[in-house]
Amino acid sequence: MRILALVPGGISDQILFFPTLDDLKQSYPESEIDVVVEPRAKGAYRVCKSVREVIAYDFRDRNGLADWGNLLGIVRDREYEVVISKTNSFSLGLLLWLAGIPTRIAFRGGSGTWFFSNSIPVKTEQYAAEMYHNLLQGLGINSPCPPLTINVLKADIEWAEAEQKRLGIEESGYILIHAGSSQVSQAQGIEKTYPVKKWQYIVTDIQRRQPNIPLVVLKGPEDEAWVNPLMESCPNLLVTTPPDIGKSAAIVAGANLMLCTDSSPMHLAAAVGTYVIVMFGPTAAKKLLPKSDRVRGIQSPSGSIADIAPADVLEQIWQGK
């Protein structure tokens, strides 16, 4: 069976869709699963174990007829038997119908619902990975959503080991910090970056209580705006800049603890089992975090991440110690 999944969104959206893809592969072990994702999210599939091929298509762009027709040609030529779509827009629903895919599954309620053979009620109150997993009901798969897992390559683990050696943290362990916010979130007016002065308070307290545990900043390509001032205020911090998501996952997996905001690294931490404390502003933590004793979310009382008190973060870290 040849199966196609349409997954708009960034890295986080892809990782949250992994349990759906994994359960699909488990249910149809001989199947070949391809995905259509935005160019910015292709890198996520370095750590996915269930996908054969990744096709790039910018769902956010005002694609012309040539772009739309090119995707239609690709989809039609592959002769997929099933498509599962996270989006049910009119244009993509029409495309999938024209491509002749017999089984077309999407959430109910969008402008393109008519073009899908099976429409599934969307339950936005659920943890996002569970919500996406409901799409498999269109194939008669009603099993519980499996845990979020990723496949970290041996080469990425070796890179992380070498990076720990470079930073001088081979034996001591380390606490990882990530407070970045993607350009897409910023463009949408969603503030996910915790203020540097409050990070400084947290860092100072950790270094006072645990002076032998290094603190390492996980720096991504869009993180200059918060990393530079944080390093100026806390010069004893170390910095790591993994070149791809696989190496980021390996660095996260080696940490004793991760402190972060709502971002893709928090999903990596949940997937590899690293204890993680996450700060949330406007987004409800229960929609993005799995139920686990190794995952803790701190919700802003006002909807602004800046209003989370450093003392609340430190309380979660020390747990009354």
Confidence at residue 320, expressed as pLDDT on a 0 to 100 scale: 52
Predicted confidence at residue 321, as pLDDT, reads 54
For residue 67, the model assigns a pLDDT of 84
Q: What is the pLDDT of residue 16?
A: 98
Backbone φ/ψ region at 115: left (φ over 0), alpha (ψ -120 to 50), beta:
alpha
Q: Does domain 2-139 have CATH number 3.40.50.620?
A: no
Cα angle: 245, vertex 262, 92; to 5 degrees: 70
Residue 282 · residue 303 · CB < 8 Å: yes
pLDDT of residue 191: 63
The pLDDT tens digits of the residues spanning 51-71 come to 999 999 988 766 777 888 899
* Neighbour count for residue 154 (Cβ, 10 Å): 8
Q: Distance between CA 260 and CA 248 in Å, rounded?
A: 14
From-to residues of CATH 3.40.50.2000 in the chain: 2-139, 154-318
Residue-level pLDDT at 61: 65
Instruction: Provide CATH code, domain 154-318.
Output: 3.40.50.2000
Under-70 pLDDT residues of the chain = 61-62, 180-191, 320-321
Q: How does pLDDT run across 139-175, given as a tens digit for each residue? A: 999 999 999 999 999 999 999 999 999 999 978 899 9
